[in-house]
Amino acid sequence: MKRLEARHWTFIGLFLTIGITMLLNFRLDIPVSDRTRVLYDYIEQLPSGSTLIVSFDHEASSVPEIRPIALSILRHAFKKGHKLIGVALLAEGTLIGYRLMRQTAEEYGRVYGADYVYLGFRPQYIAAILSMGKSIRETYPQDYRGNDYDSLPMLRGIENYSDIAGVLSIADGSLTTHWIEYGRGRFDIPVAAGVTAAMVTTYDPYVASGQLDAMVGGLRGAAEYEQLIAREGGGIRGMLAQSSAHVYVVVLIIIGNIIHFASRRRRAA
């Protein structure tokens, strides 16, 4: 049998660390950050029945991280009685978004067509955002299920962004930037986001400048949001795996540096 190398042991160590932590299933104390509270307050303070666009701007690969974020935001919005319009700027996010909306709508007894609709995907995200600014009806003559726009009671009287309270972009990449640049910049529609942890620093300048009204980032953000709405959706449990992996990486970095300095001293001697 081939001898295991250092990297193989690091892989095994990571697998065991996450596996054991998940099996022990202890509860992490995750304080709610001000940033997550801003998004919560934004949805909370909107008058009940406000219409929001939820844009699923992500691919299938990020579902484990995106799902808890989306679930928390959708649950909160449905609980508050807001009307939701689902769209997708990436083809892969279309079905995932539809399933998430349907699942959360059923949990709160919301009816398709009256409380929420799902319009689906349109190619070329910038063009899609801009053309919805002119007319959502013209951009989406039919919804994802094939119903005519005008046959859906919720959409009567909704023509463009001026009839929408805000956009919630659920993203794993830079697509929220286009909502900021074209949706907010051109049509002055408030934009908030739920993004993967890797994208948080990308959007920090937009949050600081007020161009992005609110942002929840990564599994930690999802876990914090779950505490605010008092309902778990995978974020708190996901944080268990993520935190244990982070601790493991920190330990590896420290060990690696101890080895580095010890071998340097040995060479110098």
Give the DSSP H/E element, type plus range, for residue 208: helix 200-209
Which of 204, 205, 178, 207 has its CA nearest to residue 192? 207
- Report the site for other proteins in 225-264 (rule: CB under 8 A): 242-243, 245-250, 252-257, 260-261
Cα–Cα distance for residue pair 226/87, rounded to 1 Å: 23
- DSSP conformational letter for 2: P
106 scored as a contact of other proteins (CB under 8 A): no
Q: Which is nearer to other proteins, 61 or 151 (CB)?
A: 61
Residue indicated by tokens 């972009």: 169
Q: Which of 80, 178, 220, 237 binds other proteins (CB under 8 A)?
A: 220
- Residue 80 CB neighbours (<10 A): 18
- Report the site for other proteins in 26-55 (rule: CB under 8 A): 28-29, 31
204 scored as a contact of other proteins (CB under 8 A): yes
Q: Which of 2, 3, 7, 267 binds other proteins (CB under 8 A)?
A: 7
Which of 115, 121, 124, 73 has its CA nearest to residue 94? 121
- Report the site for other proteins in 172-201 (rule: CB under 8 A): 200-201
Q: Which is nearer to other proteins, 46 or 143 (CB)?
A: 143
> 228, 251 in Cβ contact below 8 A?
no
4 scored as a contact of other proteins (CB under 8 A): no
Residue 141 φ/ψ, nearest 5 degrees? -60, -25
Which of 14, 53, 76 has its CA nearest to residue 176? 53
Q: Which of 131, 147, 211, 227 binds other proteins (CB under 8 A)?
A: 131
211 scored as a contact of other proteins (CB under 8 A): no
Residues that bind other proteins (CB under 8 A): 6-7, 10-11, 13-15, 28-29, 31, 59-64, 92, 95-96, 122-124, 126-128, 130-131, 133-135, 138-139, 145, 200-202, 204-205, 208, 220, 242-243, 245-250, 252-257, 260-261
